Amino acid sequence: MLILVTNDDGVRSLGIRALAEALRVLGRVVTVAPDRNRSAVAHALTLEHPLRAEEIKPDVFAVDGTPTDCVNLGIHGLLQELPDLVVSGINRGSNLGDDITYSGTVCAAMEASLMGLPAFAVSLDSLQFTPDDLHAAAEFSRGIAVKILKNGLPERTFLNINVPSGGYCGAQLTRQGRRRYGAAVTVNQDPRGRHYYWIGGGEVGFEDMPGSDCNAISDKMISVTPLRTDLTNDAAFAALREWSLSSFSGHD
């Protein structure tokens, strides 16, 4: 088996090392990850300048780009064959609910899925995790990898996994929840009296939605959320048909 591992915390993060080590018993693991922290870059792709990849040790590459860049470069430039699985993580901090729209970790798995490859993302629900937390997330990731390699995933589907810190009671299939972001922009002044702004400074909560990833983590359960690359909202078609878009005539 050939497994491609990436993340958005950087190639030297503790999470990606633990993940690669856990997966290595399944086959060859190649790590292609950003050379620095690239959190919250979502599905960004670098188009304005060339990318560089440094092999810092055998089968470990540091790329001066985004997680999406790393998946593209790994598959189309660095590997000689398609990987059997792409895994993104272990992320420092959860990716729950609306977080997935910002997450470089989740979007790296999405990029692999867009290429037709099985993939999942895994995150720890803590910025200050312990070695035991890392071990638990890595072991669970290996178990999921075994199931995917054996059974595959539904077409155009990838998984978003979140592991609670401090131990867990079990695992469950969940749906994407909804975050509540507080005052997300903090305003301060620098020594010269000029304002600067820091995004992401507010408290983050979630809506109480039974069966959601947010609720699962709150209940100390691992959440396994199947996501899809097709973002079409089929339920909206009925309402939008009333717009009678066909009545709009074209203009030269």
Cα separation, 234 vs 200, in Å, equals 32
Q: Is 129 inside a domain boundary?
A: yes
Q: Which domain holds residue 68?
A: 2-179+207-247
Q: What's the count of helices (H) and strands (E) in the chain, helices before strands? A: 6, 13
* Contact between residue 98 and residue 73 where contact means Cβ atoms under 8 Å apart: no
pLDDT of residue 198: 81
Task: Dump pLDDT digits (tens) for 35-71.
Answer: 999 998 999 999 999 999 999 999 999 999 999 999 9
Asked whether residue 195 is domain-assigned, the answer is no
Alpha-carbon distance of 96 to 179, in angstroms, equals: 7
84, part of any domain: yes
User: Is 91 inside a domain boundary?
Assistant: yes
C-alpha dist (Å) from residue 137 to 114, 211, 226, 234: 25, 21, 18, 34
3-state helix, strand, coil in the chain (%, to 5): 30, 30, 40
Tell me how far the alpha carbon of residue 252 is from its chain's centroid.
44
| Count of domains observed in the chain | 1
Return the CATH number at 85.
3.40.1210.10
Q: Does 117 map to a domain? A: yes
Task: From first to last of the 252 residues of the chain, give the pLDDT tens digit.
Answer: 999 999 999 999 999 999 999 999 999 999 999 999 999 899 999 999 999 999 999 999 999 999 999 999 999 999 999 999 999 999 999 999 999 999 999 999 999 999 999 999 999 998 888 999 999 999 999 999 999 999 999 999 999 999 999 999 999 999 999 987 766 678 899 999 999 888 765 567 788 999 999 999 999 999 999 999 999 999 999 899 889 887 776 665
pTM of the prediction? Answer: 0.91
* pLDDT at residue 251, rounded to an integer: 63
Is residue 235 situated within a structural domain?
Answer: yes
CA 19, chain centre distance (Å): 14
- pLDDT score at 206: 82
Domain assignment of residue 97, yes or no: yes
Structural Rg of the chain based on CA atoms: 20
Tell me whether residue 201 is in a domain.
Answer: no
pLDDT tens-digit map of 18-32 = 999 999 999 999 999
